[in-house]
A and B are shown apart, each in its own frame.
Chain A
Amino acid sequence: MMQVANNSYLAGLLEGRPFADRGDALNRLRAGAVERVGVLSLPSTRDEDWRFTDLAPLTKMCFQPYRGVPAIVESDIARYSIAESAQRLVFVDGVYAPQLSSPLNGGIVVSSLAAALPAHAAAIVADLGRRALFDNNAFTALNTAFLNDGALVLLPRNAALDTPVHLLFVATRKEAAAHPRCLVLAGAGSRATVIEEYVALTEDAYLTNAVGEFVLADDAQLTHVRVQRESRQAFHIGHSAVALAHGSRYHGIHAGFGARLSRFNLDVVQNAEGAECEIGGLAIIDGSQLADTHSSIDHARAHGVSRQQHKCIVGGSARAVFNGRIVVRQGAQLTNSAQSSRNLLLSERARVDTKPQLEIFADDVKCAHGATVGQLDADEVFYLKSRGLSESVARSLLTYAFGAEILHAIPVASLRDRLEKMLLAQTERA
């Protein structure tokens, strides 16, 4: 019974899909995804991967894609602009907004995917849909079924972008469903910083179902800042897939503040020797928010390094979930992996479920992991109070410090300051 209901809900989300057959290079990918959506069902809490995240609130509402022209102007989004960034692409309710964007079309391409498709079809088709796999992921399949446009960052061999690229996804409409897509192709030896940010100009409920693929060729270096600050009524489903070639380095800072229900899947595959990733995750939630992060770091080859630190600050009756899977395959000798999950509960009703999941098939590896769940340290609070700070100032300072450790790693000062202020405001509210 449930299955049927779920399937029809998924089918409903497929409605309003524009022009299945646009005769472009993505036809096959889209068609395959549409077919897959027909077979898959919406996850339920009986699925191990969704045990703690009940999608029932989502299925009680209807979301439709918006197909009109973006109706906002620069001043509406001025507060999100990042001074350091020279290239920005803006999508409004999933639709590319050229008048708000500053693309780049030289050797380095920062562009709407649709606009760049004719010129770069081969490069795009080679990777798009091949990293964020949708065989077993209904939401990624759904996103791919809608794939007409997206954000494309293409870095040729040894290209270096000195200023960050800002990919800004703005929600403005009640009950809109957006399926944003990012594709970052970093050529051998290239370097860039990409900010992928989700913001809202509405307080209402809507659905963001975002997928990003980040493909790093040999020795490429990418810093990826992902900021999720959707409305407090929104549903945010995100999937970032990272593929790392020989000697490449991915530095991810992923911060989630918003949404009523958010689910973020991070898949990192280190498919060649000497690849390295460093990941800092932060979820800060309260009220009745739910933030679920599932990450998977797959060490397929030797000499790989991964560093992951995930933190949750949970207040009110909010609930956080972290599932951190680390795979070290048989040939991946001398892998060096460290994962830590640290969680701060600010109220009696707050809750976190954290689970490391280590699957190690090589014998000469270093894998450290640890998880803590707790309140603020009483001795730290006392130390601050013994210097005259009030209980509430002491607590908010310590809570702030806990989260700021992750945000400190953001290499873009104006964004870092902005997010640290948000963190401070949130900790003072708690």
Chain B
Amino acid sequence: MIRQDSKTLLEVRGLRATVNGIEILKGMDLTVKAGEVHAIMGPNGSGKSTFAKVLAGHPAYVVTGGSVLFEGKDLFALAPEERARAGLFLGFQYPIEIPGVANAQFLRLAYNTVQTQRGKDELDPLEFDDFVREKMKLLEMNPDFLDRSVNEGFSGGEKKRNEILQMALLEPRVAILDETDSGLDIDALRIVAGGVNQLANKDNAIVLVTHYQRLLNYIEPDYVHVTEAGRIVKTGPKSLALELESRGYDWVSAAAGAAA
């Protein structure tokens, strides 16, 4: 929900980044305030995932210009784990499988680390088990996933639910969900979207990276941004998503090209 007096959580100005020496982000601008839901749409390869990973601090990406303030502080002064503890969350487009690390152990370590940071008590394995099972119900996840290795052998949809489960546990300030909807059937989409909606409140913000307008039927964005070649070339209200759905992306870039 857009409110003029909301606090700015994320402020991206002219962000440039390279990977393997190739410039991918060429001046991203984005302002996200508390209570807002943003959708970032754009063709494949336009830099959406790169943007998400640069914010989270993936070591393969080099920031070459611009600035990002997270709750008013320089995001790039923080290591990736510090960003997570400060309340930045990235739901990965392709969550990694980690054989041998039990999901329950991983989730508890992550939860306790963030709790400690917030000056709250850690949970022991038994307490955590009760707590996490409640959260899993919300996402209609089978508790068996606790005993399995992190994401190992999970289907695409199960991995995405596991990402949202992590978001539910860590209660981030800003959650960037990178194509959390892709690969989900309609039921799974409804469940995942329901989970996200329950987590959204006036103090946090959600940035949805998506291809499809479909997700936006379930999670109402306040803004829709269109990326192209490492830049946001158009920003509009929710109706922009519908327009993109029917007209594709080409007209946006043509218009942006004409304006430039």
Q: Which residues of A contact B (CB under 8 A)?
A: 377-380, 382-391, 393-394, 397-398, 400-402, 404-405, 408
Please give the number of chain B residues whose Cβ is less than 8 angstroms from any Cβ of chain A in the complex.
Answer: 29
User: B80, A397: Cβ atoms under 8 Å?
Assistant: no
Residues of A contacting B117 in the complex (Cβ-Cβ under 8 angstroms): 388
The distance in angstroms between the C-alpha atoms of A312 and B158, with both chains bound, is: 32
The distance in angstroms between the C-alpha atoms of A402 and B100, with both chains bound, is: 6
Minimum CB–CB distance for B147 against chain A, Å: 12
- Determine which of A380, A387, A391, A400 lies in contact with B110 in the assembled complex, contact meaning CB atoms within 8 Å: A387
The distance in angstroms between the C-alpha atoms of A408 and B102, with both chains bound, is: 12
The distance in angstroms between the C-alpha atoms of A128 and B109, with both chains bound, is: 51
The 8 A CB mask of B62-97 against A (1 = contact, 0 = none) is 000000000000000001110111000010100110
Q: Which residues of B contact A (CB under 8 A)?
A: 56-60, 79-81, 83-85, 90, 92, 95-96, 98-101, 105-106, 109-110, 113-114, 117, 149, 166, 170
Contact A391 B60, CB 8 Å, known A401-B99, A405-B100: no
Minimum CB–CB distance for B200 against chain A, Å: 20
The distance in angstroms between the C-alpha atoms of A393 and B166, with both chains bound, is: 18
User: B113, A378: Cβ atoms under 8 Å?
Assistant: no
Residues of A contacting B59 in the complex (Cβ-Cβ under 8 angstroms): 378, 382
- Determine which of B58, B81, B96 lies in contact with A389 in the assembled complex, contact meaning CB atoms within 8 Å: B81
- Determine which of A380, A388, A391, A400 lies in contact with B84 in the assembled complex, contact meaning CB atoms within 8 Å: A388
Contact A386 B80, CB 8 Å, known A378-B59, A378-B60, A397-B109: yes
User: A391, B81: Cβ atoms under 8 Å?
Assistant: yes
The distance in angstroms between the C-alpha atoms of A142 and B79, with both chains bound, is: 57
Minimum CB–CB distance for B113 against chain A, Å: 4
Q: Name A's interface SS.
A: helix
Contact A389 B113, CB 8 Å, known A382-B80, A383-B92: yes
Give 20 A-B pairs besides A378-B60, A397-B106 with Cβ atoms closer than 8 angstroms: A382-B58, A384-B98, A385-B80, A386-B57, A386-B80, A386-B81, A386-B84, A387-B84, A387-B110, A387-B170, A388-B81, A388-B110, A388-B170, A390-B113, A397-B109, A400-B100, A400-B101, A401-B100, A401-B101, A402-B100
Residues of B contacting A405 in the complex (Cβ-Cβ under 8 angstroms): 99-100
Q: Which residue of B lies closest to A387 (CB)?
A: B110
- Determine which of A383, A385, A404 lies in contact with B100 in the assembled complex, contact meaning CB atoms within 8 Å: A404
User: B110, A389: Cβ atoms under 8 Å?
Assistant: yes
User: A386, B99: Cβ atoms under 8 Å?
Assistant: no
Q: Which residue of A lies closest to B60 (CB)?
A: A378
Contact A385 B101, CB 8 Å, known A378-B59, A380-B96, A397-B109: no
Q: Which residue of A lies closest to B98 (CB)?
A: A380
Residues of B contacting A383 in the complex (Cβ-Cβ under 8 angstroms): 92, 95-96, 98
